Chains A and B, each alone.
Chain A
C-alpha cells in the first residue's frame, strides 16, 4: 500500500505543487536540461540539413529504402504506447496505485508520440508535400490512396495524438487550478489560471470530469491497440519476406507495451530519485511495473518463436531464408543482441530482490529499450536487404546523419520531459487526495 497515509490534503498540494512553484531550480535539472538542449539542437540541425539535401544523407539504398527512419518511428510510437494505455487501464480497473504514475506516463505518451509523428514526414523524399496524405482532393484532384497502410498510419497517429492530449489535459485541469491558487506571482497565477479554464471544483464538474475520463479511457484502450496494429500492418500489408505475416499486429502491440512499460520504468526511477517521491511512487509501483514488463517480455519471446515456426510452417522458401538470414546473415549480431536484451535480460525480473532494487530495474529497462530498437531495425532491414531476387540483394550501413537524428530525437524527448517536470505537477494531486480519502475510509 502506498504510504500517502502520512500526508494530508494540504501537504500533498504543498509537496507536489512545490516542485513546480519553487523559484530555484535544482542543479541536476539545469545540467541535464543543458545537455538535452544541445542534443535538441543536433536533432533540428540534422533535420535542416536533411530537408536541404535529401534522404540521400542517410545510408539508404535500393533494396534497403527504409532503415533508421522507420526504425525510429516504430520505436518511438511504441514508447508512446504505454502512457495512455497504463493510465487508461488503471482508470477502468480503478487501480488506486496507478494514480501516482499515470500523469507522467501520459506526458511520456504525448511527447514520444509527437516525436514518432515527425519521422513519417522526415523519411519522405519530398517532405514538404506530406499534406497530400490529408483526406481531401488536393494536387491533381487526387485523394489519398486509402488502401495504403501509410494512410492508415496518418489517421491512427492523428487520433492517438489528439486523444492522448485531451486525456492528459482533462486530468491536469484541477491541478492547474491548484497551482493557480497557490501561485506566488501574478504572472504564474495568470498562466496557470488560463490553463485551469476557471476550474473551481464544483461537485457537478467533478462528476462530469470523472465520467469523461472514464469514457476517454474506455476509448483509449481499443485505440491504442488499433494504432499499433496499424503500425504492424505497415509491414504485414507488404509482401516482403519477414513482413508479410498476420502475426504482426498483435506482435507489435505486445512489443509496444513492452517498450512502453520499460520506458515508464526508466522515468519512474529517475523521477522518484530526483524529487524524493518515494512516498508516492513506492516499491509496490516498481514491483507491479516490473511484473508487467516480465509478462510482456514473455509474450514477445513467444512471438519470436512463433515467427520462426510460421516461417518454417509456411514452407515458403523466401520466408524461411529470411528467418535463417536473420540468425546467420550479415546482421546476425543485431539479432542475437536483441534476443539477449529482450528475451534473456527480463528473466531477471522473476527475482523479487531485482524487482525491489530501483537501479537494477533502471538498468534492465534501459537494456530493454535498446533491445527493442534493435528489434525494429532487425525486422525492417534484414527483411529488406535480401528479398526475392538474389541479384537485387544489398546491405545497409548507417551514416553519421542516421545517428545524429536518432540520438537527437532522444535528446529532444528528454528536453520535453524536463520542461514537463519543471512546469507541470508530475503527480495528479486530485487523485492523490482521493487516495487519502479512500484510505481514511478504509481505516
Chain B
C-alpha cells in the first residue's frame, strides 16, 4: 500500500491563509492559457521558478496528507527530506450511488495520476471499483465544461454572481418562494447543513432530490416494514447462507460488501462452512455469476418467490400465486438452508424490486434472527431519505405550473435522465432563472440559462458518508483546472457568504461539530487517515410491523406480455461516465460489449423473435420508441428484455456522443425499473457492436478448473491442482533467479469478474484506448483481460471469470522467436518487453499461447492532447505505433520498492510490491510476491492443492498461476455442478 504514514512535519498555524492564490500544476500550465478562466497565470521565467519552488514545497510538506492550498502558501523553503520527483499520496473520497469510497490519490508534482483505495476507510479497505479507478481520467478530460456559460455564450463567474445576487435580493422579499434547488442524493453533512440553512433563510424555497439510479423502493420498503426509514447495513462476513433476490450486491459501486462476502467464504482459510449463495434474478449479474445456485426469474416472479420463502420459514404471509417458478424444490431447499443457518443467514433485495419485497426481506431476516448479526439498521446515510421520484414529481409539476422562478440544479443531468413522462426539459423553459452546476456542458446545461463548470472531486473540498455513515473528508489534490466551482461555493453564494470558499465551509462545519480544543487535531487526523474516527452511524433498534404481510400480492405477473427492465450500465452507470474513454472501452463483465449498450434478450426469446446478435429492433413501450441492437445473453429471464441506461447521449463529449441508444426515452416515473407490455419489432437493419470475446465455450480445455467443495474435501489431489503432478521434463538447465523471483497467483474462487483490475492497469500503465472500430477488429489493448466462459445449458448457464495477464513464463515462448531480443528475461524472472528495441514482427504474439500481448497496430497513444499528457504515469513509457506491449508485473512499482529498500539497506519484505491490479481488486483475488521468500503470500497460495498453471501442458512454466474455483452447492440440489466439473475434464 502507498505510504500514508509518511513523516509529518510540524503543522504551522502561520501557514494557514484564507485567500491564498491557488497554485496550478506545472504540466497543464501551457494548456491553461487557452482556458477562459480570468485568474490564469501567464508564465514568465520568474513565475516559473516560483511555481517550481511551490511544487517542491507542496511535494515535500505534503508528505502528510493535507490540502495543496495550505502547503502552497509560503512559497518558501522546501523541507530537507524532500526528494524531487517522488510521488505523494493524499487521502480523499468519492461518492457514487450514495455511498463513499475512501481513496488515496497519487500525485506527481501536483498532478493526480492514479487512484488507489484507502485501507483505513471502511468503504474501501484499500480496494476500489472501476468508477473510482477511472475518475482520474474524468479530471483531465479535455471535453469538461471550461467556462461559465450564459445562454450558451461564454461569460464570467463575476457576471453570474451579479445576476444571482439580483435574484437573491428579489427572493429575500418573498421568503424565497419560487426558489428550488435540485440535487442528487446528498450524503455530505456539510452540503446538507448548507441546504438546511438555505431553507431556513428562504422558508418558501424547496430542496428536491433526484438521481436516475435511486433507492426509492428500498426507502418505501423500509417504511412498509418499520414505519420509518432505516438504512440496512449488511454484514456479509457473518452470513453463511445468502439469498439474493435480484440484488447485485457484489458489483460496483462500492467494494466493501464484495470484500466481506468473498473474504468470509475463502476455502483456503480452514473455514468449515464457507457459505452458500443463492441468487434469483432477471438479468445475469456478477452476483448471479458468483452464486452456488442461480435461477433466472421474471421480474414479477421475484415477489412471489419472496412470499414463498417467507411462508416457508413460517411467516403469516397472504397466499399469493404459488412459486412453481423455480426448477424442482429449489425454493424449498433454499428456505430449509436459510432456516438451518438461522442467525447466520441473510436475504437481500435489489433496489429495483418493489417495496413489498424489501419489506418481506426485512421480515424474513427478523424472523431468522439475523438482525444484529448479519444485518443492522441505522439512520439513513443520505441527508434527505425521501423517495426521489415523488420529489421530482412535485418539482416538475411546480415548474409546469410556473411556480418555479429560480432553479438551481447542483450536479445531475435531469433533462437527459429524468423519466420521460416528467417532461423535465420542456418544463424547464417555464423557469425564470435556471442554473446548472455541472462537470460537463451537457443536455441540461444546454437548456439552462447559466452553466457553471463544476469542480471535480479532486479539485474541491467536501465531505461524504460511507455505507456505514463514516465521514470522509474529500480533499482536493489540485486547484480547479477550469475555474470550476463546488456546490458548497454556489450555496454559500445563495446564503450570502460571498467571501467563503469550499475549504472554509467544510472546515467551519466540522469545527462546529467538534469540541474547539482538539478540533484541529481531529481535523488533521481526518485528513490524514481520510475518515473521521468513529463517525459511523449508531445502530438503531428496528421493530418490524406485520400488517403488510397479510396484504395481498401487489405484482401479479402477466406472462403473456414482454417484460422491459431498466438497469444501470455496468461501466458508464447512469450516463455520467459516458465521456470516460476507459469505461467506454472496458468490456461489460457479462456481455463483453464495449462502446455500446444493447437490448439484452434470452436465447429462447431471440429464437422466438428470430433475432441474432447485432440485429436492430424497435422497442416500443407505452408509445415511446427506440431503435436498439440485440445482444443474446444466456441466463437472461425468458420473455424479458433488459436495457441499460446511460447511452445515446447528445452532449456528453467527443467520446460519449452518439454511442449506444437512450433507454431513458422508454422510462416512466411509474415504471422506473420494470414495465410490462413491451413490443419488439425487428427492423431488418444491423447495428455493428464491438465485443472483446467471441467464443464462450471452454471447448473442454479447462482454462478454468472448477470443482465442488465436498469433492475437494474428499480428494484434494483429484482436483484441478498441479500440486501432485510430477514436474514436466526440461531440455535445458532451468535458470535460477538469485535475488527476487516475482510471481503472481490469481484466485478464481475469489474473482467476481468486476474488471477493476483492467481499469487499474490501464491507469497505471498508460494503456491507450483504441475506439469502437478498432475493438471490432480485435485490437483492444488491455494488459489484463477478464475472460468469461459459460458452461451448461444456455438458459441456465454457469458463468466463470478468469483474469488473464501476462503469465511471465520461465520458458517464455515469445522470447525465443523475437529476432531482435526485444523481449527477454531479467534476473528476477520478469518477462520484459523492451519497447525501444521492438521492431514489431508480432511473432511473439503468435507464439504466446495466452494471447496476452497487445500490439500498437496504429498510433493509439494520444500525443497531442495536453491534459491527457498530464494524466499519464511518468514512470511508464508511452508506446508508439508498431511496438508490442504487455503486462510488466508493474515493473516500475517493483523498481520503486527496490530503491526504497536499498535506501534503507534492507531486503524487500512481502507486500512491499503491490501491482496495480492487486491493489484495486475488491476481493484480494490477486496475490503478488517473491517466490524466493518461503513465507510470502504468493508461496502460500501456490502451495494450495487448488493451484494450477493455465495451459500447463505446454510446459511454459508460467509464474502466474491460478487457484481453482470451488462451488458449494446445496447437497439437496447438487444435480448440477459436480457433473459439470467432471464433464469439464
Contact = CB atoms under 8 A, between A and B. Distances in A.
A150 B838 CA distance: 14
A207 interface: no
Given A62-B855, A129-B839, A144 B882 contact: no
A148 B843 contact: yes
Interface stretch (A39-47, A180-188, A382-390): A382-390
Contact of A148 (B693, B818, B838): B818
Contacts of A62: 778-779, 845, 851, 853-855
Nearest to B813: A239
Contacts of A142: 820-821, 837
Contacts of B788: 391
Interface residues of B, number: 58
B820 A145 contact: yes
A125 interface: yes
A285 to B, nearest CB: 41
A61 B858 CA distance: 11
Contact of B846 (A54, A66, A129, A151): A66
B895 interface: no
Contacts of A387: 849, 851
A145 B855 CA distance: 20
A395 to B, nearest CB: 7
A333 interface: no
B787 A391 contact: yes
A389 B854 contact: no
Interface string B812-836: 0101111111000000000000101
B883 A126 contact: yes
A239 B845 CA distance: 11
B826 to A, nearest CB: 14
Interface string B786-801: 0111000000000000
Interface in A132-184: 132-133, 139-140, 142-145, 147-151, 154
A125 B838 contact: yes
Contacts of B713: none
Nearest to A120: B841
Contact of A123 (B699, B818, B836, B841): B841
A393 B694 contact: yes
B326 interface: no
Contacts of B789: 390-391
Interface string A109-123: 000000000000001
A192 to B, nearest CB: 41
B850 A60 contact: no
A129 B839 CA distance: 6
Nearest to B697: A390
B847 A145 contact: no
A393 B697 CA distance: 11
A321 interface: yes
Interface in B873-918: 880-884
A363 interface: no
Given A145-B819, A148-B816, A150-B819, A54 B858 contact: yes
A29 interface: no
A321 B699 contact: yes
Contacts of A127: 839
A391 B845 CA distance: 15
A65 B846 contact: yes
Contacts of B954: 239, 388
A132 B820 contact: yes
Given A150-B819, A238-B817, A125 B855 contact: yes
Contacts of B858: 53-54, 56
A59 interface: yes
A55 B837 contact: no
A388 B882 CA distance: 25
A132 B820 CA distance: 7
Contacts of B855: 62, 65, 125
A203 interface: no
A130 interface: yes
A240 B847 contact: yes
A63 interface: yes
B671 interface: no
Interface string A389-419: 1111111000000000000000000000000
Given A54-B857, A54-B858, A62-B855, 15 more contacts: A61-B779, A65-B842, A65-B846, A132-B819, A133-B820, A140-B834, A144-B820, A145-B815, A145-B820, A147-B816, A239-B813, A317-B701, A390-B697, A390-B698, A390-B701
5 contacts: A140-B836, A145-B819, A238-B847, A391-B785, A392-B850
Interface of A: 53-56, 59-66, 123-127, 129-130, 132-133, 139-140, 142-145, 147-151, 154, 237-240, 317, 321, 384, 386-395
Interface of B: 693-701, 703, 774, 777-779, 785, 787-789, 802, 804, 813, 815-821, 834, 836-843, 845-847, 849-851, 853-859, 880-884, 950-951, 954
The 3 closest A-B pairs by CB, nearest first: A125-B840, A125-B882, A56-B857
